[in-house]
Amino acid sequence: MKIDRLIAIIVILLEYEVINARELAEKLEVSRRTIYRDIDTLTFAGLPIFTQQGASGGVGLMKSYKVDKKLFTHQDIQALVTSLKSYKQLFNHKDIVHVLEKLSAIAYDGGTSIPEGKFVVDLSLNQGNESLRSLLSHVETALNEERYLSFDYVDSAGHISSRKIEPYRVVFKESSWYLQGYCVEKMDYRIFKLARMSKLQVLRETFESRNFSPLPMDGMDWMNQDWVEVTIRIDLSVMDKVIERFGEGNVISVEGNTCLATYPIIHNEYGYDTLLKFGDKCEIVGPSEVREGFIDYVGRILAKYEK
């Protein structure tokens, strides 16, 4: 997009005393003719751009317009780089590479690349989720251009429905990607899991953005279900799963190699599945109706193999 390229040129001019059109064209992967047109556009917009003739000539910004590099500390730059690298893992956008180069120039005067940070966020997709990259790319287009999305959706009960939505927000939570948007059929805001979508299309039709407020994703409100506080006995080897999800306050006591903990679930098969993830390292202590329901659920699973 032209606006992105113009912003990139401004950032580069802020970092270089003088740079020629050939270097700018190479950095932004466009022709020199395009660079000349962009410089004219920026000049007409009022930026104090000057030209310098000769072998070492080119274009630059008046020093009075430039921002002091000390405005950003190395820690600031590192935080920005960490975020951008995570984003690049998902989309591999070419413009992100250019931004990373510019950040390196700000921090190290155009020389050494920025070293890896001490905290790294790995959002690279595994082989099974490679298809999500295409979905995320389509969703990003719809978000940026305010266009409707249509798709088939399989809900947690296995029901398939066709949806048309206004997309507003993408959320990554607990290893899954979700899309928050306004569902035209339901005439209300909904949350959709990307992995449950199929036949996703970005429609030509655009929408007028609503006054959207991010939907809560604490696992309670957005599911609109009744939750039961279950007491479980688990091996210490999986205690971290309870702490990561609900906090240390849910660990009641530690007894030898096991511990007692509270683990709220929805009293249905969806809730039982969350406990099955612990395998044989977990036992439901109470309430009794949840314990009995879980035993019945596991029995039905075993029955498929006994046949």
Same domain, 200 and 142: yes
Q: In the chain, count of helices (H) and strands (E)? A: 9, 11
pTM of the model: 0.54
| Per-residue DSSP letter, 159 | -
> 252 in a domain, yes or no?
yes
Same domain, 137 and 192: yes
- pLDDT value at residue 104: 60
> 168 in a domain, yes or no?
yes
Same domain, 232 and 179: no
Going by C-alpha positions, the residue among 189, 194, 192 that lies closest to residue 213 is 189
Same domain, 144 and 91: no
Same domain, 171 and 139: yes
- pLDDT value at residue 223: 47
What gap in Å lies between CA 154 and CA 182, rounded to an integer? 17
8 A C-beta contact, residue 170 and residue 193: no
- pLDDT value at residue 182: 96
- pLDDT value at residue 117: 60
Same domain, 281 and 234: yes
8 A C-beta contact, residue 271 and residue 294: no
Same domain, 137 and 74: no
Full pLDDT tens readout for the chain, 307 residues: 467 778 788 878 877 778 888 888 888 888 888 888 888 888 887 788 888 777 677 888 777 665 555 555 666 666 666 666 655 655 555 556 556 656 665 555 544 555 566 666 666 655 555 667 778 888 988 998 999 999 999 887 778 999 999 999 988 877 778 999 999 999 999 999 888 888 999 999 999 999 998 888 765 444 445 789 999 999 999 999 888 888 888 999 998 899 999 999 888 888 899 899 999 999 999 999 999 999 999 999 999 998 6
Q: Strand, coil or helix: what is 17?
A: coil
State the total domains in the chain: 4
Same domain, 137 and 193: yes
CATH number for position 45: 1.10.10.10
Same domain, 61 and 91: no
> 145 in a domain, yes or no?
yes
- pLDDT value at residue 20: 86
- pLDDT value at residue 122: 64
8 A C-beta contact, residue 148 and residue 142: yes
> 250 in a domain, yes or no?
yes
8 A C-beta contact, residue 92 and residue 125: no
Residue 271 domain boundaries: 227-306
> 118 in a domain, yes or no?
no
Which tokens sit at 119? 């905290």
Beta bridge partners of 206: 147
- pLDDT value at residue 132: 73
Q: Which long-range contacts (CB under 8 A, 24 or more apart) does 165-174 make?
A: 165/190, 165/192, 166/207, 166/209, 166/210, 167/139, 167/142, 167/143, 168/143, 168/209, 168/210, 168/212, 169/212, 169/214, 169/215, 170/136, 170/139, 170/140, 170/143, 171/217, 172/123, 173/217, 174/245
Preceding omega of 115 cis (within 30 degrees of 0)? no
> 178 in a domain, yes or no?
yes
- pLDDT value at residue 66: 57
- pLDDT value at residue 165: 96
